[in-house]
Structure 1
Amino acid sequence: MLRRNFLTLMAGTALVAVARPAFAELPKIQKKDTYKVGFAQTESNNPWRIAQTKSMQDEAAKRGWQLVYTDAAGSAAKQVADVNSMIAQGVDAIFLAPREEKPLIPAVMGAKKAGIPVILLDRNVDPSLAKPGEDYVTFIGSDFIEEGKRAAEWLTKTMNGKASIIQLEGTTGSSPANDRAKGFADYIKDHPDMKIVASQSGDFARDKGRQVAETLLQAHPEATAIYAHNDEMAIGAISALEAAGKNPGKDVIIVSIDGTRDALQAIIDGKMGATVECSPFFGPAAFDTLVKYAAGETIPPKIINTDRFFDAANAKENLASAY
């Protein structure tokens, strides 16, 4: 089997089309009643990840499948090792939530070489280094660019087209952080008075989001809005604002992404403006996709979740169903 030349990756240069030789087809999977599948989770330090893991575990139990679960604890290197362990255990397929776009390429390629199909969940890998339908089956998740655009559109309208914005970025190098930043920037570029005055990673974590927000608020007391790449950082930012003697929701408007119960409560309390839902309930779609793949059905390169939008108009009525 011809394999991709990874020297270009080692050199930090993206592969181009002419450097891609012909490949064998994706690994197939035998159609049967139950499967032994792996789920390589990136971390479990926030409600979104916990809800995603529970969805996968519940669906496996419902179908009577064996689920080999690992938690990379926020380490891309451990996640690669976790996938290698699943390969060694002879799983039928692997569901992978890649922590970062480039470091997880060896895991995807290692599984393919071992004849094990991979389905990516919620985060993608670098599209110049691995492709759906060729190196992995498909990506299932939200449209992160659209999430960023929806957040920017709401904030622009709410602020009447004028704001000094602090951006709390997600994990550096992850597809949600990259795309949510891009979607937001693409929208506000047509609104010159919507300006990002500072941007720094809070690693999708509540406490780090609070710490980063504290630092950036001190450096930019003129900030009138905060755009957080997830609700955990947004809630951290609320604490930072209150500690600074500011009134979140009035002095500084906050918009975020995820749709967690804590975020909806913060909207109800008037401390947060809005959040774009990013559904963590992947179990049914993930397992259904694998069954369809085993049956020989054509799987699209992307399967996009339908996500809602929450603000003061609908947060209260949706609180009970939030995670």
Structure 2
Amino acid sequence: MTEEKKHIMGHVMACGTQFMWGATFVSTKVLLTHFSPVEVLFMRSILAFAALFAFYPHLLKVKEKKQELYFAGAALCGIVLYFLLENTALTMTYASNVGIIVTCAPFFVAVMVSVFYKSERPDRSFYIGFVIAMIGVIMISRNGQTSLHLNPLGDFLALLAMFSWGIYSVILKKISEWEYPMVAVTRRFYFYGILFLIPIVAMQKKIGSISAFADKSVIFNILFLGVAASAIGFLAWNTSTKWIGAVKTSVYIYVSPIVTVLLSVVILHEKLTAVSVMGAVLILGGLILSQQKSKLNAHFTEERRKFR
């Protein structure tokens, strides 16, 4: 595959992944009536590992043993801490608050990646697009509500989740430079994720009932979360990060609130408001702008060259 095709496919996969991840709230809501958040994450990880192993049954032979620390770190930050912090935040603060904070992920990723990689420092267009998109996210999340309710601890946990995702993006970018098969890399992430989750699951006082699997909807939703959202989703997201960079990939997180609104209308039969439509338009505008190279920056760069 040529570099140009990889670049195009990277954008397509990143956008497609967010459409799929935006649908996970419905499946998660169904499963949380039978299982705890940790159990859901544990089952997702096991299914993702199994699916990736079935697709690529080859062992990953690392070149240096210290690289295992990077794989373990990525699993800890991107799979375990991110989801546990986010799910815990949802139990302590308003979903709209978490939705707004989670969509700030591109900013966290941009700042953290730019600290370690000068080649991926975003320009003005990224930050302008971020502000526009966030206005749209706030419009969708608040949906006409004028009062803002805060829960310091819950909101702080959501911020920690974004910080964890930023670290994951930095580690993933480093791992992508090693030219390992991304399917094997993603599978290794889930391997370490399962190891980290085992003691957490074991410490739970109450365990979900096995009889819940008699419900076909439970089986369908856990398969969707494990195989589609986790195995395929993370593989596509990690590959996109490798092909177009962590910052450009993270910008597609803006798509998630739009998917949530559409699913709420189609599945939950919620009313589509003018505020939501305006918010979606601003999000799309911010996303497009964030992916463009700033002409203003290019102009300033050219002017500086003239005076050298």
Q: Please confirm whether the aligned pair reaches a TM-score higher than 0.5, indicating the same fold.
A: no
**Could you say which TM-score interval applies, normalised by the shorter chain?**
under 0.3
- Bigger relative CO (Cα 8 Å, ≥ 6 apart): 2
Normalised by the size of structure 1, how large is the TM-score? 0.21
- Which structure shows the bigger proportion of residues in helix conformation? 2
- The normalised TM-score by structure 2 is 0.22
Kindly indicate which of the two structures has a greater share of residues assigned to strand: 1
